[in-house]
A and B are shown apart, each in its own frame.
Chain A
Amino acid sequence: MFSFKAATGLALGYALTMSAAFAGELVINSDQSDPAPKKAMETLLEGFKAAHPEVTIKWNNFDHEGYKSAIRNFLTADAPDVVSWYSGNRMAPFVKAGLFEDVTDLWTENKLDDQLKSAVKSMEIDGKKWGIPYSYYQWGIYYRKDIFEKEGIAPPKNWAELVAACEKIKAAGMTPFAIGTKALWPTGGWFDYLDLRVNGYEFHMDLTAGKVPYTDPKVKAVFEKWAELVKPGYFLENHAAIDWQDAIPQFVQGKAPMYLMGNFAVAAMKDGGLKEEQIGFLQFPEITAGIPMAEDAPTESFHIPSGAKNKEDARKFLAYLATPEAQTKMNEVLGQLPVNNQSAKSNDPFLKAGFDMLANAYALAQFYDRDAPAEMAKVGMEGFQQFMVKPDNVDAILERLEKARGRIYK
């Protein structure tokens, strides 16, 4: 009797797990847990259902942070058909472990090399493409237009003007830059931009690829520029205790009128009570004259796990995701830029500014924690945070980063 019960139980359990993946069902795992991305994803799914009514979709929406560890489990154990992830070095471990499907065929079939041109480099590993990018956003300095006008400061175009503006803001009793480094990554934006402007895109890519030592004088030069802002106290004091959202009130209250951030910060600033005309957007100013301007523009993408059961429909989904119509609709909700260059332009002033800046950019970096391998990014950004608290320790910090580089890139 007992064994009979157990057997039925087992059979039932088996039937339950199997029912999760019958034919014609497309299982999508993603981490669009915030309101705007969730709505954007719903828009995308509706559009896909209209175009392919024969496919039923099962969408598992994960919490953003939990997803990062969950993906490792479900890719190896019970792979869905489509997953969201990040491009660049962030997807390298999965590609190297053979967990992502090569989708170069989708790119050639749909002539995506032209349409998704700006993201080609970040989706490519070993000459093959491993996913479809659908959205990206610009980084830059957001500033309080009203405060700049009141203080008579013109938006700075180069480093000297930026430093002068900071001086003026500080003299007026404010802290020039808002920042919260508790989660470490906001420091990566600063390092990226300073390195891109001081040494240029090629050097930055060599550095994040581990080809240049951190003790190189060129890296030291980046920190010297950074120190010009850190030492006079141009960043919020106690930034190490707060997250990026916690620094937004300082920006909204006018205590720190500049913020180097991704475009997603605008929504938070508006939620805080700022009107659109109070916020200005500024490309990170030139430092070394003559170096072509490259920008940070993290790209978001969908991929097919190599263990997917319904690869046919997954390919349909990715092909749909690549179309200009789908990307236009989705990014309108998301408040970001579509990667497909045939998408319709947005009316949002910040997205327009971002689009113009990125369209003319010399090259796009993904962001420090996506260009550098995860381990290096962690050690690196910890070093940046320490530097922003104790700028005099720069040599010790760079030694430590160099030691980590020697270990991580073998």
Chain B
Amino acid sequence: MPALSSTHINILSKVAAMSSTVSATSGFWKRNQQRLAPWLFLAPGMIMFSIYVIIPIFQSIWISFYDWDGLGPKTWIGLGNYAELLDDEAFYTSLKNNILWLVLYLLAVPAGLAVALFLNQTVAGIRLYKSLFFFPFVISQVVVGLIFTWFYAPDFGLLSALIKTLTGENVAILADERYVTLGIIAAGLWPQIAYCMILYLTGLNNINPEQVEAARMDGARGWSLLWNIILPQLGPATFIAIVVTVIGALRSFDLVSIMTDGGPYGSSRVLSFYMYEQALSEYGYRMGYGAAIAVVLFMIMMVFITLFIVRMLMRERHA
């Protein structure tokens, strides 16, 4: 009994030491304080991150090996879902569209730079112009989608009316498999350019005026000034702009869903939309197949994310 109570006291004091101030009786805490403290501070973030990010990733990968409708029993089919993906026309259409998105969406970066350079001057009311240019990024993607749907709408849309007066032909951009993805990307570029523009505007504010002055004295003008002096200083802004644009392109979903619902006959699907359609939409509920698509999308994103992280680490080391 006496032996037991002494251990009891020992444990109690340890607990007390952990939760409040350091107690003299606690050897363990004192010895390991330096090692443990960082982990204790990291713990809340790490727990959240694993619950909401890490664990779901592995769960998705796990589900992608099953045939499951979300309600009934799961059946293990191994790589069956992936084998089916390889033979699925709709998957290739989505993949192709995703690549198209990636490439064309990056136009937002130079376009945003151009607008930022244009707006980076001191004229009366420039703040108003800046906010007007930034406006599309503030409104919801759903609204952007609707605006462009009407803009493209056959018969009453502005653009189709314009095309009709120019060519005499009625083109329904969102109903034509040749133009539909381009049409949606154009809608997506509108707010994305505004986003890149704001990144560059802040970047331009931080440009060292002395360097510009010195360059001008040395005779740098126009393109050479932009290319050799301004752009290198905008490096960080460019980096962020490219990162958000690439990720934005890969997770494009809202516009596709609002403007075409993947149509006509599935020709404007992207991977994220196809995943949603298979796993969660009215006609879907193939959780395993949807998860397999999500895993493929994750792998593609991983390529870019790794590149960015490696680059960032390199910079930190050099700095």
Interface residues of chain A, those whose CB is within 8 Å of chain B, are: 65, 68-69, 72, 76, 93-94, 96-97, 99, 181-184, 237-242, 369, 374-375, 377-378, 382-383, 385-386, 389, 400, 407
Q: Is the CB of B286 within 8 A of A239?
A: no
Please name 29 pairs of A and B residues whose Cβ atoms are closer than 8 Å in the assembled complex, sorted by A: A65-B282, A69-B282, A93-B69, A93-B71, A93-B72, A94-B71, A97-B72, A99-B71, A181-B264, A182-B263, A183-B261, A237-B172, A238-B175, A240-B172, A240-B174, A240-B175, A240-B265, A241-B153, A241-B264, A242-B154, A242-B175, A375-B286, A377-B283, A378-B277, A378-B283, A382-B265, A386-B265, A389-B175, A400-B89
| B175 lies within 8 A of A241 (CB) | yes
Q: Which A residues are CB-close (under 8 A) to B263?
A: 182, 184, 240, 382, 385
A397 to chain B, nearest CB (A): 9
Q: Is the CB of A374 within 8 A of B282?
A: yes
Tier of interface size on chain B: 20 to 34
Question: Nearest Cβ distance between residue B67 and chain A, in whole angstroms?
Answer: 9
Q: Which residues of B contact A383 (CB under 8 A)?
A: 265
A97 to B70: give the CA distance in the assembly, Å. 10
The reply to whether the CB of B84 lies closer than 8 angstroms to some CB of chain A is yes
A389 touches B261 (CB 8 A): no
Closest 9 CB pairs of A and B: A378-B283, A241-B175, A238-B172, A240-B175, A386-B265, A240-B264, A97-B71, A238-B154, A241-B172
In the complex, what residue of chain B is closest to A374 when comparing beta carbons? B283
Known: A99-B71, A240-B264, A382-B265. A374 touches B284 (CB 8 A): yes
Query: Chain B residues near A237 (CB, 8 Å)?
Result: 154, 170, 172
Which residues 269-317 of B sit at the A interface, judged by CB distance below 8 A?
A: 277, 280-286
- Cα distance, A183 to B177, chains bound together (Å): 16
Query: Distance (Å) between the CB of A245 and the closest chain B CB?
Result: 13
Q: Given the known inter-chain contacts A72-B71, A93-B71, please indicate yes or no for A238 contacting B170, CB distance below 8 A.
A: yes
Bound Cα distance A125, B79 (Å): 33
CB closest chain-A residue, reference B266:
A382
Complex CA–CA separation, A375 to B263 (angstroms): 16
Which residue from chain B places its CB closest to the CB of A387 in the assembled complex?
Answer: B265
B70 adjacent to A72 (CB under 8 Å)? yes
User: Within the complex, what minimum Cβ distance (angstroms) separates B180 from chain A?
Assistant: 9
Cα–Cα distance between A237 and B152 once the two chains are bound (Å): 15
Q: Does B260 have its Cβ within 8 Å of any Cβ on chain A?
A: yes
**Shortest Cβ distance from B273 into chain A, in angstroms?**
13
Q: Is the CB of B285 within 8 A of A374?
A: yes
Does A385 lie within 8 Å of B264, measured CB to CB? Answer: yes
Closest-CB distance, A266 to chain B (whole angstroms): 23
Return A220 CB to nearest CB of chain B, in Å. 19
B9-42: which residues lie under 8 A (CB-CB) from chain A? none
Question: Could you tell me the distance between the alpha carbons of A69 and B260 in the complex, rounded to whole angstroms?
Answer: 20
The answer for the CA separation of A129 and B280 in the assembled complex, in Å, is: 28
Interface hub of B72, B152, B155 (most chain A Cβ within 10 A): B155
CA distance A239 to B70 in the complex (A): 34
With A68-B282, A93-B285 already in contact, the answer to whether A385 and B72 are too (CB < 8 A) is no
Q: How far is the CA of A389 from the CA of B172 in the complex (A)?
A: 12
CA A76 to CA B280, docked complex, whole Å: 15
In the complex, are the beta carbons of A389 and B89 less than 8 A apart? no
